[in-house]
Each structure stands twice: as structure tokens, then as C-alpha cells.
Chain A
């Protein structure tokens, strides 16, 4: 345990007061899960760098803060004009708004979905649709550390997306998570559950943004169930404020013939940690992990991925690329696990980082653990600088050093950006990349 954790103290001691504010939520079946999570929080506490999974990410500065629970602060005042500003430009999507972990129906812009499709507040579904939520919520993921426990014990809401068998949600669903406040240092705890039935399809953009000037902490968990032969795309675009701590765990359970693609685009935040885990628990499953992390100033970005090949004849592709400038720091820890039964597995993983400054750094640790004997697996990591020969080539045509560097950045990130299936999102991501790196856009 860190020498001093005000966060731990506040939240191990404050549960009774929290329960009182829950306004009926404490009568739901989920409340038992909360109580168990509270015990886990006391037991696990927050990780330190002595923990192998947190070796390069020191959270002692984060857990010193006693961030206030959103139930104890004045509601942040958000209006439609602000939503218009915060949504990703030009991307035709439905809009779901979550403010400091609470779903805001008034500001959300939803379509009339075909029968059976549910796009709603998770709290509302826990209350009114407990049969469905009980089956999945907190069942797809385990509590592995204090942050997971804190989210499970204290989260009050988030989004719930349910696509029944043979249904398709045509338009992407853009969830705008607005976190922070201009009055208080707050903790935002969105909890999301996405269930895709057999032969269903859905595309979700999780757009995390900051609000106000105060320091804040987003600690979010998303559980995804990919039914047989479903296609689920989850685009995470993380644009938190520069004074934000951001910890995200996304856990995916995949059924046979399903395709799940995760896009992890990391721009904002001062300390960022993503855990993305998939279990491929039947045959002919495809898992795609694409990641882009852009670091500037003193940002710290840690991506942990875990692909668990439990059954034969599945494929996973992972491509993570980073550009780190100034004194920013990156961590990549990617594990591919192939169980004994998972013959004919194809698993690929690649992590490439470019350091734009002498003070930027990355710790990268690709890991393969294979217990089957008939598999094709590869992994690799490279760390480098912009290619000198290519830089010379571009300048030899009269192009200035500044634009030549932008072209090289564009070339480096191209294969990740090209995987994005929504054209306008692709374009907007390109804007964000150059904006974040303070460079001329190409």
C-alpha cells in the first residue's frame, strides 16, 4: 500500500454515507455486488510499482487525492450547445451523454431502434430489467485491483446497450463521457455493459472528454459480450483534460464466429492506464486490437492488453503504435495466451513507438505464452526515431523540415488509422493526431 492513500481511506470508510444517497438503488440486486467489491477494495488496496502489472506506472500521486464522489457535488451544468461542441465533428452517430458517470437522457439523441434493442442508462436497466443485467453485469470481468473494486462498489450508472439476436444498430452510437468539474475535484465512475446477441452488429464510439479546470479522476469499466457471429466495433477516443487521471478496464467475452475490434486512441490525460482483455471462448473467433498513443509534455500512457485464446481456430491481430514527444512516457504490455486446446491459433502482435524527443521514453513488454503445439504466433516491438533517409527524401523535394516531419508522422500511423471503418472518424482522428502533437496537419 502506498504510504498515504486518502482515496483508499475515504472510500473504505464512506460506504454507509454513500448508501444513504443512493435513493433506492441500494435495494437492487446489484447492491450485493457493491458490498462484495467494497470488501475487495479494503483487501486489494491500490497497486504499487512492486506489483508486476503496475511496475512502470506509479499511482501514488493519484491515490493521495481524496476525489469527491459525484453524488456529493453540485451537478455539472451541461447544455446541448456544449454537447454539439464535444461530439466528434462530422461523424453521423446517435449521441449518448454520460456526465461524471451518470447517464443524461435529456441531452442524448437517440434513434427509434427496432424492437428489442435497448440503448439506455445502466442504472435504469438494473432497476427495471434485472434479469438481463444480473446475467452479465460484473460477471464478464473480475476485480483485479483496487481501481476495479472502487468502480464496482461506487459506480451508480453508465450506459447499457443490448442488441438482441439478428438485430443491427445501423448508426454508430457515440457515447460522450464528460468528466470533471470546475468546482470540485471529482471521481467519475462510468460502468458500461454492452451485449451483442447472435448475428447482431453494433458500432460504438466511446468519446472521453474533460470538463472544468479542477483535477479529476475517471475510473471506468466496460464489459462486452459478443454473441455468436456478432460484429462489434468499439472505438475509444480518449480526449480527457491535461489534469486528468484516466483508468479504464475493458473486458470482452467472445462467442463462436464473432468479430470484435477495439480501437484505442489515446490523446489526453496526465496519467492514463488502459486494460483491454478478451477471452476467445469458442472456435473461429476474430479479435482485433488497434492502438494509437500520442504523448506530449509529461503525459504517462500505459496500455495493457491480454488476449486469451481458449479454443482452437481463432485469430487475433494486434497493432499498437505510439508517438511520444517532450518528456512523455509510454508503457506497452501485451500478452497473448494460447491454451492447450487452442490448436491452429493465429495470433499476431506488434508494438512500434517513435520517440520525438530525447527525454521521451517507452517500456514495452510483448509476451507470448503458448501451451498448444500447432499455432502461428508472432510478436515484436520496435522503438525508433523518424526515419532519416525518408526525412532526407522528402526534404530533397523542397519540402520544409516541419512539413516533412508531419509527413513522416502520417506515414507512421497510417496502417492503424486505415483500420478505422468510419471514414469521417478516420479524418477527425487525423486532425486530433496533428493537433495533439502541435504539428502541421498532413
Chain B
């Protein structure tokens, strides 16, 4: 699905990613964990094509294509999706207008016809139900006046609507109470299939109780310093990050 090799990236001349290597195959869920400032969100944003970051070295292939050559909208049309840590409010643009534009651009890119109004409405109703959102959402402006939890829920709703090949979830659990966390996790689990993959960026192990990963990677100072199975997340929960940092120092 995606193959990241020796990825380096900077923002305002400051190096944040210092050689990331990661392989994600279809059907897999990878969790990226790490302390604040380790580069987790940067990795998600660089993969989605945020122009504030400059890739200085390395390569990324997504479904065999050079991802770094593509603009953010091209990446999305190829099947990449980023659930934002801080979703943006777009007053005056309804969720329906927003998602219809997105779906139709993706369809056009794949040589398909535009979605019919009926099909679109049915799809919205079906997916809104999955994340416990009211139908009235359709005519509401994108995230305008939403609470933090509603915004995160809306990100997962968009994920279900667009049904991408690869989902990047950037701290989707932050700021959620346990009920909202369950709803959001359920949404992601509905999305999971053998044909797609997810990279879940999180600071807390709690999310991984609901979205169970196949692999866990620890990011520290812009590098993956340890990888393991889902049990690694539990170890991190118990012992914190310091023991890995020490391990790292010893190996250096």
C-alpha cells in the first residue's frame, strides 16, 4: 500500500523527520506512538502533502506511484485520507456541498460518472448513522459551531463517505470522552477491510483498545526507534517512553 524510505522533512528549516522507514500493506493497521514533539503529526501531514513542510530526503510510494510528486488533492483522489487533529470550520459551505464536491472529483479522476442526488443522500444517511450523527448534519456548514468531539466525529464520517485506500488518523482520540471515543473507534472499525489500511497516530494507548493495531511503532526525535505488535502499546502504557529512550541511548 505505502512504502516510506528514509523520509526526512523540515519546517522553517528545522528538521522534524530524520529518516522514517515504514511499510504498510493492505489489510493492516499500524499505530504510531511517541511523546509530544516526536514528529507523529508531522509524518501524517507530510504524507497528506501539507505545503508548510519540505521533504529534504527520502521517498514515498503509494500504490506504486511516487506520492511526493503529487499535490494534496491528487493524493486524496488516489485514495489517501487524513483525519485532522484540528478539523477546520467552513461556514457557508454545507457538508453536502463539501462532500459532493469531494466525491465527484474522486469519481471523475477514476473515470466514473458523478454521484446521483439520491445515491448521495442515501450514502450520507447511512454513514451518518454509523457515527451517530443526525441527518440535519447534511445541511449544516462544515464543522461550523461544532464541539471538539463533533468535529472529530465528522472526520470519521468523511472517512466513511470517501472510503479511501489509506486512512491517516492524526490524534483522532485527543479531547474525546469515552463515549465519543467508542463511537469514533466503531466508525474506524467499520471502515477497516482487507483492501484498505490505516495509520493511527496517537499519544495514548487507550484508543488502541478499541482500534486494535497489527503493528505499533515508537517515534522519537523524528525516527522510528522501536516496532512491535499490539503488546508494545501496553508496555508503553505501563512504563512510559523513558525505557525505550534509554535502550536507544545504549544502542547508540
Contact = CB atoms under 8 A, between A and B. Distances in A.
* A complexed with B: yes
26 contacts: A387-B88, A388-B52, A392-B51, A392-B72, A393-B84, A393-B88, A394-B88, A394-B90, A395-B49, A395-B71, A396-B48, A397-B76, A397-B81, A397-B98, A397-B158, A397-B162, A398-B103, A398-B105, A399-B101, A400-B73, A401-B71, A403-B101, A404-B73, A407-B90, A407-B101, A442-B93
A388 B51 contact: yes
B139 to A, nearest CB: 14
Contacts, number: 85
B82 interface: yes
B91 interface: yes
Contacts of B105: 398-400, 403
Interface string A30-44: 000000000000000
A399 B158 CA distance: 13
Interface string B90-122: 111100011101110110010000000000000
Question: What are the 8 closest A-B residue pairs judged by CB atoms, nearest first?
Answer: A414-B92, A398-B76, A397-B102, A393-B88, A395-B73, A395-B72, A414-B91, A390-B88
Contacts of B162: 397-398
A329 B101 CA distance: 32
A37 B102 CA distance: 60
A401 B88 contact: no
Nearest to A393: B88
B120 to A, nearest CB: 15
Say whether chain A's binding surface is mostly helix, strand, loop, or mixed.
helix
B109 to A, nearest CB: 7
A389 B48 CA distance: 12
Contacts of A404: 73
B77 interface: yes
B195 interface: no
A81 interface: no
Contacts of A413: 92
Contacts of A397: 73, 76, 81, 98-99, 102, 158, 162
Nearest to A407: B93
Interface in A373-401: 387-390, 392-401
Interface of B: 48-52, 71-73, 75-77, 81-82, 84, 87-93, 97-99, 101-103, 105-106, 109, 141, 158, 162
A390 B93 CA distance: 12
A85 B109 CA distance: 39
A398 B93 contact: no
A397 B81 CA distance: 7
A417 B92 contact: yes
B106 A398 contact: yes
Contacts of A418: 92
A415 B99 CA distance: 22
Contacts of A393: 84, 87-88, 90
Contacts of B49: 392, 395-396
Contacts of B71: 395, 401
A411 interface: yes
Nearest to A398: B76
A413 B73 CA distance: 24
Contacts of B52: 388
A400 B102 CA distance: 9
A399 B77 CA distance: 8
